[in-house]
């Protein structure tokens, strides 16, 4: 039982490049979330999903796209990376929407030059 | 939008001491959660506590929703309690989760 895993752990991009972050959970959770954390800040919700095939915008969705083609996977895409997207990205999952324990992945540190 | 303020921003304590962390929020919320981020970045959900009091070992939390604050108590601190403690609320208007900036706790051996 791996819980929530994220791939990759680190990545460096140049401005304008694209990439996809993968989040996988093996707990059969319906709800999955993508957050970003900037230095000295709490987490900010980018996008979330309430089930396979569904996605919704969070607090800071601009510049990101997401997909939930399989229940266990939640992908976060950056189509044209910008330096403002330099951050640590966390994925989380839970049984119910924000009223239950969220389980977090280890994070992906992304630097955009 | 809703404002979430945590205090103090930083706290340094000796092992064995007790501490109280506070979270104030500016509007009604559907729920409130406390999280711990250890020095290596791993996040753990401590409590889901929209109102009332909960306890888990040396940690307990109290939320007074009508007065718009929550408190996290840590008793008999251990070095493993070090890290950043975040509270997060779900604003009733848009059902989105908003985090405070956290309280950084450093427990000295």
pLDDT in tens, A68-88: 999 999 999 999 999 999 999
| pLDDT-based confidence at residue A2 (cuts at 50, 70, 90) | confident
Q: Report the pLDDT averaged over residues A36-44.
A: 91
Q: Is the pLDDT of residue A101 over 90?
A: no
Q: How confident is the model at residue A108 (pLDDT cuts 50, 70, 90)?
A: very high
Other C-beta atoms closer than 10 Å to the C-beta of B105 total 21
What pairs with residue A13 in β-bridges?
A112
pLDDT tens for residues B68-99?
A: 999 999 999 999 999 999 999 998 888 889 99
Long-range contacts of B3-8 (CB under 8 A, 24+ apart): B4/A42, B4/B87, B4/B88, B4/B89, B4/B98, B4/B99, B4/B100, B5/B100, B5/B101, B6/B85, B6/B86, B6/B87, B6/B100, B6/B101, B6/B102, B6/B103, B7/B103, B8/B103
- Is A41 close to B100, i.e. CB distance below 8 A? no
Q: What's residue A100's pLDDT? A: 80
Residue of B99, B100, B101 to mutate, interface with A, max A Cβ within 10 Å: B99
């Amino acid at each position: 039982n791996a819980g929530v895993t994220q791939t990759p752990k680190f990545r460096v991009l140049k401005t304008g490049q694209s990439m996809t972050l993968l989040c996988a959970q093996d707990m059969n959770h319906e709800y999955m979330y993508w957050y970003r954390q900037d230095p000295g800040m709490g987490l900010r919700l980018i996008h979330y999903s309430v089930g396979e095939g569904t996605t919704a915008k969070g607090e800071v969705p601009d510049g990101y796209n997401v997909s939930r083609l399989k229940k266990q996977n939640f992908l976060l895409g950056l189509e044209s990376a910008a330096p403002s997207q330099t951050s640590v990205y966390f994925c989380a999952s839970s049984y119910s929407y924000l009223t239950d324990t969220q389980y977090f992945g280890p994070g992906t540190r992304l630097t955009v030059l | 939008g809703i404002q979430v303020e945590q205090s103090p921003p930083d706290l340094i304590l000796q092992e064995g001491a007790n501490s109280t962390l506070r979270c104030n929020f500016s509007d009604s919320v559907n729920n409130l959660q406390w999280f711990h981020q250890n020095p290596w970045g791993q996040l753990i959900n401590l409590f889901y506590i929209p109102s009332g009091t909960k306890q888990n070992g040396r940690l307990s939390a109290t939320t007074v929703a009508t007065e718009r604050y929550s408190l996290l108590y840590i008793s008999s601190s251990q070095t493993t309690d070090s890290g950043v403690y975040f509270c997060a609320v779900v604003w009733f208007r848009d059902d989105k989760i908003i985090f405070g900036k956290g309280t950084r706790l450093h427990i000295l051996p």
